[in-house]
């Protein structure tokens, strides 16, 4: 967690595991291997890989996920920045000199 890496987070694979936020991604990888049956029942949020929810609840989570807004804002900012760059870019292309005379 960017705000508090020492905050404790409950593991989605084993409810008795309480992991520091800074170590949570590493713990998820390890626990996924240790609990393959539980892993089959969980789905990963497309906006934040730290969000593991029951498969049946994924669509509801996606609608409410706080990280969705952050990602959507990043996409808007990047695309508007790209459009601004396109508008401000002046082409420096010049036609090569032509030796042909079509009139003759």
pLDDT, one tens digit per residue, over 34-80 is 999 999 999 999 989 999 999 999 999 999 998 887 777 777 777 66
| Residue 45 placed within a domain | yes
Which residue range(s) make up the domain with 62? 8-66
* Residue 92, burial from CB neighbour count under 10 angstroms (0-12, 13-18, 19+): exposed
Report pLDDT for 85: 57
Q: Which residues pair with 19 in a beta bridge?
A: 9
Which among 52, 32, 33 has a CA at the least distance from the CA of 42?
52
What's this model's pTM, rounded to 2 decimal places?
0.63
Residue 83: pLDDT above 60? Answer: no
| Residue 41 placed within a domain | yes
Q: Domain total for the chain? A: 1
């Amino acid at each position: 967690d960017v705000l508090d890496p020492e905050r404790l987070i409950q593991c989605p694979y084993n409810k008795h595991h309480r992991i520091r936020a800074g170590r949570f991604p590493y713990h998820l990888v390890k626990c996924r291997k240790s609990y393959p049956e539980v892993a089959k029942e969980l789905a990963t949020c497309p906006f934040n890989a730290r969000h593991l929810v029951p498969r049946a609840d994924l669509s509801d989570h996606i609608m409410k996920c706080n990280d969705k807004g952050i990602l959507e804002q990043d996409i808007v900012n990047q695309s508007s920045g790209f459009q601004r760059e396109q508008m401000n870019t002046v082409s420096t292309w010049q036609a090569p000199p032509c030796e042909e005379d079509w009139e003759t």
